[in-house]
Amino acid sequence: MKKHNFSAGPCILPQSVLQQAANAVTNFNGLDLSLIEISHRSKDFVAVMEKARSLVLELLDLENKGYKVLFLQGGASLEFLMTPYNLLKIGGKADYLDTGTWSTKAIKEVQTLGTVNVVASSKDKNYTYIPKNYTIDETADYFHCTSNNTIRGTQMKSFPKTNIPLVCDMSSDIFSRELDFSQFDLIYAGAQKNMGPAGTTLVVVKESILGKTGRTIPSMLNYQIHIDKDSMFNTPSVFAVYVSMLTLQWLKDLGGIKAIEKINNAKAELLYNEIDNNPLFEGSAVKEDRSNMNVTFLLKDESKKEKFDKICQEAGINGLNGHRSVGGYRASIYNALPLESVQVLVDLMKQL
């Protein structure tokens, strides 16, 4: 049976990438050695790391613009702490936009190092919308936002203009839509949402914003040290970086972000149209702020849940349940999910 993987993360990856990765585990580059047993400092893996970093800058149109690319560990959750360590001055303050669980966790980490100002929050309506018309303190050390909220299914459609460093957690929609990425000074993203397997975290940072905090930064948390060591200050997550590199190459071959955005828009439109027109379902996020990556919706008649879950299971639908803290359903339609899978889900919704 063909599976239709709507998992929120770790998520679906291109089949061609999985096949190449599987081959590399047994025989990488014709070495008769596994990718995961060779030295991370061998020329074969160093080439992988260099290509992965190069593809990131190329796809984001950030080449020759002062940005450095890192592949680190600890997930986006560690970046919640690394960001203030590297950008928050001693006695300084930072502005944060609170749009959901992950931004809330990020705010908690900043509070261990300095003052945080929450410029706006959508907590009052269970994070079902993105706040608008807030004011950023131009004397703050940086402004932090989360571009896409996997749990509640909301997404920022635009970003504020500010003269202070703009930091964005793009874990669940990186490489999914065209943006002016040069407006951001620091972007980070866990690989397992749209880029690769769990185990590595992408960081794209404008090097000129570093080294201004006046604080002593622990080595493992210091972006500059990782930059100077080409993401190999310690042993990197070799397999996760390799699969991320393959996925980035797959995206480039497809036509880049412009091409995948067109596909993503078609998937989202198809599914949201069914949610809005089917009397048995309703969306859980405000329409203007709906995510094109994580489509959250509810079944109005709970007596039909058992039947719907059964027909989904029989059709090979995987990972459709909403986050445990929210319930309902969540269809994560990341880059590698084909339009065909969304059509299967829509047909089942019509069938119910």
Phi-psi region of 54 (alpha: psi -120 to 50; beta: other; left: phi over 0): alpha
Q: Which of 169, 173, 185, 289 is catalytic?
A: 169
193 is catalytic: yes
Burial category of 338 from C-beta neighbours within 10 Å (exposed 0-12, middle 13-18, buried 19 and up): middle
Place of tokens 């604080």: 215
Catalytic residue among 68, 98, 102, 173: 102
Q: For residues 170 and 283, what is the distance between their CA atoms, to the nearest angstrom?
A: 23
Whether 230 sits among the annotated catalytic residues: the reply is no
Which residue among 68, 98, 193, 250 is the active-site one? 193
Residue 157: active-site member: no
Q: How far is CA 18 from CA 24, 243, 333, in A?
A: 10, 8, 18
Q: Indicate which residues carry an active-site annotation.
A: 102, 169, 193
